[in-house]
Amino acid sequence: MHRSLVAAALIAVCAMVGYAAVPLGVSPRITQPAATGNQAPRDRPGQAAATQRPAQQAAVATIEGQVLDATGAPMTGAVVDAWHEASGWRALALTDKEGRFRLQAVPAGSVTMTVRRGPIEFAQVIQVGTGMGRLTLRDARPDASDMVQARSMAGAMAARQASPAPATSAPMYATGKVYTQEMRSRGVGVIPPPTSMDAYARVDPSGFRRVGDAPLSTFSVDVDTASYTNARRFLVEAGLPPADAVRVEEWINYFPYAYASPEGHDAFRVNTQLTACPWNAEHQLLRIGVRGREVPTTNAPARNLVFLVDVSGSMLSRDKLPLVRTSLKMLADQLTARDRIALVVYAGRTETVLPSTPGNQRERIHGAIEQLEAGGSTNGAGGIQLAYQAAREGFIAGGVNRVVLATDGDFNVGVTSIGELARLIEKERESGVFLSVLGVGRGNLKDTTLEMLADRGNGNYAYVDSLQEARRALVEQVGATLVTIAKDVKLQVEFNPRHVAAYRLIGYENRALRTEDFADDARDAGEIGAGHTVTALYEIVPPGRDAHLPGTTTLRYQQTPAPRGDGGDELATVSVRHKQPDGGASALQAHRVAAKVVQADTDAAFAAAVAEAALVLRKDPLATRASLASATTRAAAALGADKGGWRAEFVRLMQLAASLQALEASPTSEQ
């Protein structure tokens, strides 16, 4: 779909006054939670998707415009990203075949407009007034021959609750820089487009399994979220994520859910719900939700953290080391005098930049982080060894001892094979020091390596694509990210053949365990952090509806009786094993699931919508009836309280994904 474009481009933007209750094509519930009568979101190009979070000040304008390349031809399929920093309001629009876009409910004040497509990215800060205005953007190159032109548009303005009133003239003027391809070549920090050097492991979707052949399903609980934020990066840059980059369980688990909390001293609580399957009316959907125990800040254990930062040459771009520096400062600002922090860097060599330091010495910590510079090759294995050594030296008994690795995963010096790295991490975790991974950047992201490191290091893998995501992962969810309340958490489901003919676990393909691994305490599994929620979905085929199930082989020497099943009205039993963070023996907890289909609650409906969208984007062969349109419609109707606006953002992203899909499928798409 993309083609190379020369740097000059234009946005024709105007403030057209009008009713601005909600972004165009979005359910009113996104900005007005009490509203009713939700409508299906539209997904055609040229229309804005949902705001990231509700604006904190009145929305007064609609912005319309057009994006053209230097030849004057419309830029089809470009993402226009509008960001009002003062209120947190954000909206995206995808240009249509004429290069046009529209943004509604724009707050007054300073708004950053960023255009992305292929190798082109440029930005402009505009001042949005309360009436009509004109804006002319010009190419920033000194020798630019293409002038950025704009046409004005006008309309009538009305307050959200008032009758239309005559518009008042107000200017909308530009400040700041326009980023172009030439400026990128001169070193201006513009994010380059993704390339094929990103590495993702092939994951084949799980098929349906007959209960008579496999009554037990066993997997390791996982709360990584990197796949979703990495896919978000692709979509914001006007591209669909590669199918292998979409791990459904990480999409589902990116979002928090209001599950019932554990009782007493329990580490977690299991919640279940059986509903109709949205993408196949003949099937059912079993949602299993696990909620970890909250740990109040006042009772949080002391933290011994070692930041391990990749400063190799591959980390030069602004979406890598500069983003890491700011992210680590955010995390460091959450520390207290009880905590300790060290900073280790690696490139061609390894070095301890900051020895173990009390967490309240922020000026010293910030100074060490600020001095990080990129250059050289990548001796990641040496850095990991030095970081673990620093963590052991500062070990806090009964505390949180963790290495936080920030990298794009490009290890090219030292121990570089996956097997050797895995064995190194497995050996080091026995010391009681866990590993969390922050992936950054595009064009060279080694997703497979980073996921493996976090998995073997008893930690989590998050992909940080923006400062907002860094704040979410390292500030808002710092307890869940750093404080482990249960390790080696395994989940096993036994299905009752009386009510289940077959099933499939949606996602978790690389977390599958053998049946015998469930009771084997030597078998490593996932971790749950303080306050974490973990969700798993099973697609259920009831008896008598197995026309599309895999066939069975007729045995010559024995007969396989048809499963009968007991347990009355029980659909399944969910069993969970876990260990204490410093324990060696596991504890068992069981939860029985009633074979009663109920109306999906808000959380179940939203989780199902996320799963459906992820199945579509990873091209799941068993979800041919699923669609982005239906997933987006149901997600918009299941926003709930949506603290932080992350569900609304999902709706916005899936609208973009549907538009990109349509453009990709169009015979007139640019090649």
Q: Which of 655, 507, 533 is nearest to 604 (CA)?
A: 533
pLDDT of residue 570: 94
Is pLDDT at 421 greater than 70 in this prediction? yes
The average confidence (pLDDT) of the chain is 77
Which residues lie closer than 8 Å to 478 by C-beta, 6 or more apart?
Answer: 331, 334
Is pLDDT at 435 greater than 50 in this prediction? yes
Q: Which of 212, 245, 211 is nearest to 230 (CA)?
A: 245
Which residues lie closer than 8 Å to 612 by C-beta, 6 or more apart?
Answer: 278, 279, 623, 626, 627, 630, 631, 634
Q: What percent of the chain has pLDDT over 70?
A: 74
Mean pLDDT of 78-97: 79
CB atoms closer than 10 angstroms to residue 192: 16
Of residues 164 and 133, which shows the higher confidence score? Answer: 133
Which fold does the domain 302-480 belong to in CATH?
Rossmann fold (3.40.50)
Dihedral, CA of residue 26, residue 32, residue 34 and residue 40, to nearest 10: 0
pLDDT of residue 117: 73
Band of pLDDT at residue 644, cut at 50, 70 and 90? confident
pLDDT of residue 270: 95
Burial label, 264 (beta-carbon count in 10 A; 0-12, 13-18, 19+): exposed
3-state secondary structure of 146: coil
Q: Cβ(586)–Cβ(520) under 8 Å?
A: no
Least confident of 44-53, 273-282, 614-623: 44-53
Most confident of 18-22, 133-137, 476-480, 567-571: 567-571
3-state secondary structure of 389: helix
Query: String of b and e for 138-152 (b: at least 16 CB within 10 Å)?
Result: ebbbeebebebebee
3-state secondary structure of 535: strand
Which two structure tokens, joined as six digits, stand for 565?
């099943």
Which residues lie closer than 8 Å to 296 by C-beta, 6 or more apart?
Answer: none
Just give the CATH number of 209-295+485-546+565-599: 2.60.40.1230
Mean pLDDT of 195-201: 73
Most confident of 97-111, 132-146, 176-190, 432-446: 432-446
pLDDT of residue 584: 83
φ and ψ at 28, to 5 degrees?
-55, -20
Q: Give the C-alpha separation, 25 to 10, whole Å.
A: 25
Q: What is the DSSP letter of 550?
A: P
Which two structure tokens, joined as six digits, stand for 586?
């596991």
Which residues lie closer than 8 Å to 638 by C-beta, 6 or more apart?
Answer: 602, 603, 605, 606, 609, 647
Is pLDDT at 464 greater than 60 in this prediction? yes
Specify the amino acid at residue 60.
V
Of residues 105 and 400, which shows the higher confidence score? Answer: 400
Is pLDDT at 586 greater than 80 in this prediction? yes
The radius of gyration of the chain's CA atoms, rounded to the nearest angstrom, is 26
Is pLDDT at 19 greater than 70 in this prediction? no
Q: Which of 288, 226, 199 is nearest to 573 (CA)?
A: 288
pLDDT of residue 258: 93
Mean pLDDT of 218-236: 92
Q: Which of 127, 128, 149 is nearest to 138 (CA)?
A: 149
CA atoms within 13 A on the CB side of 374: 20
Q: Within the chain, how many helices (H) and strands (E) appear?
A: 13, 25
Query: String of b and e for 283-307 (b: at least 16 CB within 10 Å)?
Result: bbbbbbbbbbbbbeeeebbbbbbbb
Q: Cβ(128)–Cβ(15) under 8 Å?
A: yes
Alpha helix positions (H), 209-278: 226-236, 248-252
| Same-fold call for 209-295+485-546+565-599 versus 302-480 | no
Which two structure tokens, joined as six digits, stand for 665?
């499928």
Of residues 249 and 204, which shows the higher confidence score? Answer: 249
Mean pLDDT of 68-96: 77
Alpha helix positions (H), 23-116: none
Is pLDDT at 218 greater than 70 in this prediction? yes
CB atoms closer than 10 angstroms to residue 554: 7
Band of pLDDT at residue 110, cut at 50, 70 and 90? confident
Which two structure tokens, joined as six digits, stand for 105?
């409910």
Q: Residue with structure tokens 């496999």?
A: 214
pLDDT of residue 493: 98
Structural domain boundaries in the chain: 9-190, 209-295+485-546+565-599, 302-480
Cα 367 to the center of its chain, rounded Å: 30
pLDDT of residue 225: 93
pLDDT of residue 472: 87
Q: Give the C-alpha separation, 649 to 670, whole Å.
A: 28
pLDDT of residue 7: 34
CA atoms within 13 A on the CB side of 432: 17
Dihedral, CA of residue 354, residue 355, residue 360 and residue 362, to nearest 10: -10
